[in-house]
Structure 1
Amino acid sequence: MVQLFLHVPTEGGGSANNTVAVEAKRSLLNNVESIIKSVIKSAGRYEARLWLCSTVSLVHSLNRHDQRDLFLDLLEMKNSRRDVAARLLLMIFYKNPKMVGSILARKGYILEEFFRGNPKRIMQWFGHFAVTGESTHKKGAKALSQFAFVNRDMCWEELEWKGKHGQSPAVVATKPHYFCDLDVLQTVENFLEYVPDFWSSDELADSIQDGEILQIDAEYFVDQFLYLMYEENSKDAWCVVEDFLMDEQFSSLSQHLLIHLDEPRLLDFLKSLGKLVRPTLHCKELAFPCCWLEVLLSGHCNDHISLDDLVLLNCVIAKGRQLWRLMKDEEQKEEWEQMEEILKGINHLSDADHFAFMNSLVETEFHDALKWIGIQSWVIFCELSKECKSGDSCESLFSRNKIEFRKADNYSLVQNDGCSVSHMPDTDDEDSTRSGHKRRKKNRRRKRRRHKSDEDKLDELLELGLSNGESGVESHHGCWHLSTDGFSASWDIADIPDHLSTCYFKIWVKWVCFR
């Protein structure tokens, strides 16, 4: 039975000097740390970095001006031009194209080069003249027709018609659909060659303002804006970037930009972030999944922490479920076998021995305390994931660990990946928190092969959320309100490892670090 150590002993109620137990515990956790590092290094480094970026995106104690300055510093780092800046511009193009369109409208030379020698682009933008029954031309066609009428004495002869003869301004003014007979490609090429004023005209600028033209070839305009930003140091271009960085959510910027960073830049970004975040009282209560990171980055050890440290901490504290899956991958068979051997003896401590270990962490650096408590919480997650296989086993676990519980009226089924529908405390898209419970309308039935072991059948039941009536597992597995959160939420089997290991982590970090 897993010992959760969710109750802090009263003053004088624990042994603070059991050095043998403390050293034995630290040695076992050292072995766990080594295996985790090996797995991350050999198979999951990129994934683990993505998990860290996901946690960083949840940081909430950063004001808008600091957010802008933080990402501006990132844009000025070496190599950020081609990945971070390019990605940011694509975000702006997609979310607020008008910001860019207003600048393009005043950059006639960029538009000239965009269309010159490119018939496809010309037709995409200028080939939208109104046919019979339509009231107005669209996009560049509207700009072309308006400019041609206003400046007909200067440029009407440059209009090329498909028919045997051209159309006069007077005729086209009364019958706008005649513009459908215009040879658009040849006309625009004539304007490129002989009518330079068109490319800086108000008519063309008006058609560009909404930024719709960016959709034709976003990559081209990204290159142009990168040149404006980094070569010409255009104030207008940088103002667009700064305004966007002020208005956009920190979570969105982080999720889209940080994943492109190499490790040195990511670490520099996190250290800069640590100098700007202002952890609140909620952070010391670990009210949010990223609170530990905000407190850590804002502390005195910021300059000495490595990316390896942050990746490890994030894996065991915030991404326990994902680390568990990575560890159990077939390619990590050797490491997982080593981990199983360690797990057989790692949690066999008395309350006094555990308290002695925690007491030994009180004088350590915050980073070290986080590491040891985080690794122990992940060990608890692993043991709970193996043990919580039925309603009876969960209720026995609650009772042995003095957790009050009561059955919930509603039951959440388990998804095919073993994650519950109702509670998924990790922060990735696939592991984001769900507040409500969903019910399946139909229970799918799957035949079992009789020669499978009871454990195999039970694993399948947990994956499918069903019961075949042979294993003794309830069809809904069990769903409970627990005293660990004041009976405020219902938890089902797939949630129990996450919830209880997180409870352990919060209780002991607050006791060790925030008293």
Structure 2
Amino acid sequence: MSSVTSYHQRDLFVNLLRSNKSPKRALLASQLLQLIFEKRPQIMGSIIANKSYMLKKFFEGNSRRILLWFSNFAAGGGVEHRKGAKALSQFAFVNRDICWEELEWKGKHGQSPAMVATKPHYFLDLDVQLTVENFLENVPEFWSSNEFAESVKDGEILFIDREFFLQYFVDLMYKEDSTDVWEVINKFLIEESFSSLCHRLLILLEERDLNNFLVLLGKLLNPKLEPKNFSNSSYLFEVILSKCSDCGSIDQMLLLNAVINQGRQLLRLLRDEEGQEEHAKIKDIVSQICAIPSNANSLAPIFMKCFKTKTVKAIKWLGLQSWVLYYRLSGDCQTPESWESLFKDNDIAFHTSNKYELLHHDDLSDESGSDSDRKASVRVKHRKKGKRKRRKKNFSRDDTYDIELPDFDTTDRVLGLQANAGSWLLCTDGYSVSWSSADLPEYLSKHCLSTWMKWIFAKWE
């Protein structure tokens, strides 16, 4: 999204978080807070440090939390106490006149400040639970002290009970409208990548909220779209959003994005066993479209309608037309000879590349492909004992993702290509890329779409 600035993305997501009409507002806020906990816990830790007194309730009556946070005393050897143990020991020494008697020891007698000062590992004999319970009841100064605030500043305490702190910060956002929390959220939304925020947050939205988000996004995109970028898949999606986001439904945008940017995946899904009925219907429609006489003026009626109709319909027609071309090329061009015949019939000058490669079973070459295909790793497996297995989408922590699609038998389709699959340099891109048989259907269909879009936008201007 080259036209979305960091301040745009902040405004988009703050609008969702502030919306009183969204039934999932609190859930969305909780998901965003989890992302902040994972990536920058220290910025939330600084808020907790300024309100450290509230953690008194966090530890009251909860021995598990007490032991996890305050039992990290060092055994010596130059290693320091950690977390709450460090805060407890430092505060006890500085304020020994008011709290040393509250320390509970496991041995027969207590330890003096002087003895523990020379042998810090003696703190290992401290009965942590009883001591902290004494501090909760009798030493209120500790919970608002600099020592305790410093121990929680790095945000590590968030992970002792993540659900508690998620609810705590959601309450700060909506019940108290905390300026400190909203400032942190605004800063994070500016600095975090747009794709990361979308992957983590948009999946939670109901269709109405998602549609509203896309409408706002479409309005923020650069209104002066330059036709020179139509060959870029990401830019094409920006065009779709800017021109189609207010059509009242996300169905149009989902369809257009599928045919323009996910052509290979769409075709694979159609070829799956469970999509045979739909595949047959689409095959029949494609055959009817391709029955139009193949002459220089065959697309004229389509473009005449595009020049006159609304933007949404025109872009939809062109997107579908490009996918029909992709579908037909994927099925009809099975040999190098068929490709070269196609080039000649359409006045596409070409050179045979010196580099020949066998097709992989996933039909993707290593040197080309769509932007989405470079991000998506598509794995296709053969049948095993007549059974097929579906795989789930797996999202990794760094927000990259693999798309594992339904498997299907590719044997019949690629056997004719494996022996003589070559690659060509074409005049359509200035002979700059070596295109393989696997990538040509997608490249040529997108090249046509880019050209058609330039014509249409030039006419509209």
TM range (shorter): 0.7 to 0.9
Q: What's the CA shift for 1:416?
A: 3.9
RCO greater where, 1 or 2, for CA within 8 Å and sep 6 or more? 1
Distance 1:153 1:429 in 2: 66
TM-score when normalising by structure 1: 0.77
- Spell out the pairing of 1:131-210 with structure 2 (5 A cutoff): 131-210=75-154
- Partner AA of 1:397 in structure 2: L
Separation in structure 2 between the aligned mates of residue 317 and residue 422 of structure 1, nearest angstrom: 20
> How many angstroms apart in 1 are the aligned matches of 2:2 and 2:193?
10
| Candidates 213, 237, 262, aligned match of 1:319 | 262
Aligned match for 1:371, one of 292, 316, 331: 316
Partner of 2:251: 308
With over 3 angstroms needed to count, the CA separation of the structure-2 counterparts of 1:165 and 1:493, relative to structure 1, is farther
Q: CA deviation at 1:61?
A: 0.6
State the Cα distance separating 1:296 from its structure 2 match: 4.2
The aligned counterpart of 2:370 is 425
- Deviation track 1:233-276 (CA, whole Å, cap 9, x = no partner) reads 11111111011111112222112211211100000011111222
**Distance in 1 of aligned mates of 2:412 and 2:82:** 59
Bigger shift: 208-217 or 225-234? 208-217
**Mapping of residues 403-442 of structure 1, within 5 Å:** 403-411=348-356, 414-427=359-372, 431=376
Any stretches of 5+ residues in structure 2 without a counterpart?
Answer: 379-407
Aligned Cα RMSD in Å?
Answer: 2.6
Aligned to 1:233: 177
Q: Which residue of 2 aligns with 1:384?
A: 329
Segment of structure 1 superposing worse, 191-200 or 286-295: 286-295
Stretch moving more, 266-275 or 409-418: 409-418
Distance (whole Å) between structure 2 residues aligned to residue 193 and residue 393 of structure 1:
86
Question: Aligned pair in 2 of structure 1 residues 317, 488: CA closer, same or farther (>3 Å)?
Answer: same
C-alpha contact 1:285 1:510 (8 A) present in aligned 2: no
SS of the equivalent of 2:410 reads helix
Residues 1:286 and 1:419: Cα distance change in structure 2 (over 3 Å)? same
Deviation readout 1:375-394 (Å, 9 max, x if unpaired)? 11111111122234343333
Q: 1:189 corresponds to which letter in structure 2?
A: E
Deviations 1:211-246 (Å, cap 9, x if unpaired)? Answer: 122222222211110010011111111111011111
**Contact 2:241–2:253 (CA under 8 A) maintained in structure 1:** no
The one-letter amino acid of 1:320's match is G
Which of 263, 278, 303 is 1:335 aligned to? 278
Q: 1:88 to 1:472 in 2, by over 3 A?
A: closer
Matched pairs, number? 427
Structure-1 residue corresponding to 2:447: 503
Q: 1:111 to 1:412 in 2, by over 3 A?
A: farther
The 3 A distance-change label for structure 1 pair 474 and 168 is same
Q: Is the 8 A contact 1:415 1:421 kept in 2?
A: no
Shift of 1:207: 1.3
What are the Cα deviations for residues 303-355 of structure 1, in whole angstroms up to 9, with x where unaligned?
A: 34421221122121222122222222322221111222223332233221213
Please name the residue that 1:124 is paired with.
68
Name the structure 1 match of 2:195.
Answer: 251
Query: 1:396: how far off?
Result: 3.1
Q: Is contact 1:277-1:294 (8 Å) kept?
A: yes
* Contact kept? 2:107, 2:125, Cα under 8 Å: yes
Give me the whole-angstrom Cα distance separating, in 1, the residues matched to 2:369 and 2:376.
Answer: 5
Does structure 2 retain, via aligned residues, the 8 Å contact 1:391–1:474? no
Counterpart of 2:391 in structure 1 is none
Partner of 1:400: 345
Amino acid at match of 1:204: F
